[in-house]
Amino acid sequence: MARKRQEETPAPPLSDFDALAARAGHRFARPELLRQALTHRSAADPRRGQLDSNERLEFIGDRVLGLLMAEWLIERFPEEREGALMRRFGTLVAWDTLAAVAETLDLGAFLVVPPGEGRAGLTGRRNVLADALEALLGALYLDGGLDAARPFLRRAFAPLVEADSRPQAAAKSRLQEWLQGRGFDLPEYRTISAAGPAHQPVFVVAVIAAGREAEGTGDTRRAGGAGGGGSVAGGGGAAVSGEAMGGGGGALPAPKTRCGLVAVVGAPNAGKSTLVNALAGAKVTIVSPKPQTTRFRIRAVVMRDGAQIVLVDTPGIFAPRRRLDRAMVAAAWGGAQDADLTLLIVDSRAGLTDPVRAILERLAKGRNRVWLALNKVDLIPPQRLLPLTAEINALLPLEETFMVSAQTGDGLAALLDRLAAAVPPGPFLFPEDELSDLPNRMLAAEIVREQILQQTHEEVPHHATVETESWQERKDGSVRVDCTIYVERATQKAILIGDGGAKVKAIGSRARRELEALLERRVHLFLNVKDRPGWDEERGRLRALGLEDLE
């Protein structure tokens, strides 16, 4: 039996939608996309669910927002390093920022919602407004491509992007910094109760800070905390910030989250990539016994105690000779400069080598916080560790020292706990369920290169690179991946191919199994080997590896 379609609040007149389209600066060829972008799921046809609501448009709009905002920030701040750009990006695409922009556009007046809803209902909820803004971006993209979405985004966000030449700290960060600067503990947020229907909940949240406690209500936990924060500040319902604690005003910080970049640096073969994989609890970067395995920065995302730790695995730092070597070392130092904290990994078996001394000298000239992790402690007598630690600290006093084994897991839990506490307050930079920022095409190339490192010897591994030429999705859910292996000389090509193609088949077979395990799908992997003299001096090849071209 067919279900009766749920009655809606009458949609705004077509002329109003035309007015919104004009405000967006785009004439819709498919005006139904605009209406769908403004239809909340509770007002959609129950028989069609998401297909009639803005949820699917919100999904694509979120991706459009990320791409266009990143493109804009790169153009607007050409001298700013990656770490600062990521903080700025995180603030601009945060939920509360999107809601504020939606309010300036008065999107709530255009929303299609169930009967009885109004300003006090769904159209007044900030999370609903933020979702509608993303859905509107998705509708603009589907109707007119990036050329339609880009100018709208830049007009809507221009006041925020241009407000300050420096990345803005979130209100929550200002409050926490204010409290810490005066010797107070960080604020605590506690949900007292949650009531009401799923589409319109009411949260009661307690906020405790600077010896004061109060409760607030709202349609999200964050909004509930805002009401309580105003009472804590003694502001008669005004939102709280660090300034409000001292008598000023400001906006209440979100329930506390912490996030920071941790650059993992060290000499080749210190075990950096193995340690990053162990801390992440999954394989996010390739490993091999050979030095200089990692060629570019890879970020691993680790969630710990409400904090997001972004581990930046960097190439080993050594004396470079080739253009490739110089780009790899530059990538390592660039990762350290962008980070909130630098974690120096030292192979405890090798001790204080000349490369480690050179790294310590360079780190001493910077301003970053530096921690030390002595790795492979399971392989040497314990009595050697304290003298080594003292010797390193004599060259560069380090904030923290940890004795760990990436292979056995010893000491890793304590290291993660301290990192989670040390990263600064701020919004998450990546989705909580994301493991790495490495695209699948680069992952495939790296897995193939890992097998080259493991199955060949002498000069071949260090004179080989891999590029994914083609990635084709198949209807059965599998994927076809075509990779090309470039080597310096014809003799190296012959070694890689092997007798009757045996070597390249073995490399492809193991790489395919590894990829299938990581991607959780069937993979059809095809390898081609080419000799290309001087590839490690070519700018194009370096860019394909994600490395900056250095003279």
Taking the C-alpha atoms of residue 471 and residue 483, their distance in angstroms, rounded to an integer, is 9
- Ramachandran sector of residue 163 (left: φ over 0; alpha: ψ -120 to 50; beta: rest): alpha
How are strands ordered across the β-sheet holding 188-195?
A: 188-195, 202-209, 212-218
Bridge partners (DSSP) listed for residue 206:
190, 215
What is the DSSP secondary-structure string of 414-446? Answer: HHHHHHHHHSPB---SS-TT--B---HHHHHHH
Give the pairing type, strands 464-473 and 479-487: antiparallel
> In angstroms, rounded to a whole number, what is the distance separating the alpha carbons of residues 504 and 510?
10
Instruction: Report CA-CA distances (Å) from 235 to 85, 232, 242.
Output: 34, 8, 13
Residue with tokens 């420096």, as numbered in its chain: 166
Residue 455 one-letter amino acid: Q
Q: Nearest 5°: phi and psi at 135?
A: -65, -40
Distance (Å) of CA 1 to CA 4, 45, 47, 455: 9, 15, 11, 63
Q: Which amino acids are annotated catalytic?
A: 62, 134
Q: Are 496 and 456 in contact (CB under 8 A)?
A: yes
Identity of the residue numbered 123: T
